[in-house]
């Protein structure tokens, strides 16, 4: 299955059967981690696979996050330098892994971090200068949880994300590309992305929280940057499916109050 199709089939899986992935599947995953696509090569980002996730699960009660209890056989611990660019990069790089796992019929769920870095000491060695940003739970699917194509995802309508234009004024394939990123997973399903489409290029922004909310909800602010990177990954996968020769990168873009610029899907012309 292609990554584009995986976008339409993926959903968060929170119930896992009492089974594990095979050693070969876990070895393949570990190899893939070293070769993920990169948006920003300047930031330090890493991922560690915890093969015995059940032990980690029992040890760290906070992993059972505030919402949606998840108990999985394996976890990816995603780390980065403690910067906004680092969190965005975590979302971007490892959503490719999530889509690739979905394409193989393997379940995943991004998990907000509800514990201290020190609690991971027994399981992984954190790369120096990095902090754990978030986790991905993963494992085989039970018969009841098989993936299927989702016709109507629980998401806001495409027009909600578009600044300054209605979807009717856009080319059909641009609307399809917007559909690809709105299907991306986001913390609390907040869908904090906004886009501006101009001359073959789609600029992606993150809706900013005000300063006080940012301080009080520091953890959520961090997770929203991860959401932004995840959205960028979906924008790229959708863009490359519908248009030849597009790339994601940073380019001239309109400044908008209350929105922070993340990156663009840059067309040929
Ligand atoms: C950064 C991030 C953190 C998340 N944290 C959790 C979590 O702690 N617990 C949980 O059950 N789901 C978590 N999710 C999954 C979202 O709730 C889920 O993606 C969203 O509700 C959309 O549903 P879907 O993934 O099935 O499309 C998280 C997703 C993201 C992207």
Q: Which domains does the chain have, with CATH numbers?
A: 3-145 (3.40.109.10), 158-266 (3.40.109.30)
Residue located nearest, by CA, to atom 28 of ligand 1: 187
Confirm if 149 and 9 have CB atoms less than 8 A apart: yes
pLDDT value at position 218?
66
- Answer whether 223 contacts ligand 1 (Cβ < 6 A): yes
Most informative mutation of 92, 189, 234 for ligand 1 (most atoms within 8 A of CB): 189
- Answer whether 64 contacts ligand 1 (Cβ < 6 A): no
* Burial class of 120 by CB neighbour count within 10 A (0 to 12, 13 to 18, 19+): buried
Residue located nearest, by CA, to atom 18 of ligand 1: 185
Lowest mean pLDDT among 138-142, 165-169, 249-253, 264-268: 165-169
- Answer whether 224 contacts ligand 1 (Cβ < 6 A): no
- Answer whether 133 contacts ligand 1 (Cβ < 6 A): no
pLDDT value at position 171?
87
Q: Which atom of ligand 1 is nearest to the CA of 69?
A: 11
pTM of the model: 0.95
Residue located nearest, by CA, to atom 10 of ligand 1: 68
- CA separation (Å) from 153 to 65, 66, 148, 179, 181? 23, 23, 12, 10, 12
- With bands split at pLDDT 50, 70 and 90, how would you rate the model's confidence at 112? confident
- CA 75-2-46 angle, to 5 degrees, is 35
Question: Taking residues 132-158, what's their average pLDDT?
Answer: 95
- Answer whether 107 contacts ligand 1 (Cβ < 6 A): no
């Amino acid at each position: 299955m292609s990554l584009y199709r995986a976008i339409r089939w993926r959903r968060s899986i929170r119930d896992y059967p009492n089974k594990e992935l095979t050693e070969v599947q876990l070895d393949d995953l570990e190899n893939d981690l070293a070769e993920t696509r990169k948006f920003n090569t300047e930031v330090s980002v890493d991922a560690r696979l915890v093969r015995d996730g059940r032990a980690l699960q029992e040890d760290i009660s906070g992993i059972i996050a505030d919402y949606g209890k998840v108990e999985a056989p394996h976890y990816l611990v995603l780390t980065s330098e403690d910067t906004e660019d680092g969190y965005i990069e975590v979302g971007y790089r490892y959503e490719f892994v999530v889509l690739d796992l979905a394409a193989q019929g393997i379940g995943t769920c991004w998990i907000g971090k509800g514990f201290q870095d020190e609690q991971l000491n027994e399981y992984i060695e954190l790369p120096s200068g990095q902090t754990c940003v978030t986790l991905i739970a993963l494992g085989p699917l039970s018969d009841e949880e098989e993936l299927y194509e989702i016709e109507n995802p629980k998401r806001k309508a495409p027009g909600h994300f578009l600044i300054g234009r209605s979807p009717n004024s856009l080319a059909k394939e641009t609307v399809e590309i917007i559909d690809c990123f709105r299907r991306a997973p986001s913390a609390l399903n907040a869908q904090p992305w906004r886009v501006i489409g101009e001359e073959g290029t789609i600029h992606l922004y993150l809706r900013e929280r005000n300063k006080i909310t940012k301080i009080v909800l520091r953890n959520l602010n961090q997770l929203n940057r991860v959401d932004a990177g995840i959205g960028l990954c979906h924008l790229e996968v959708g863009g490359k499916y519908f248009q030849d020769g597009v790339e994601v990168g940073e380019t001239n873009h309109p400044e908008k109050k209350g929105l922070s610029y993340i990156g663009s899907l840059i067309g040929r012309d």
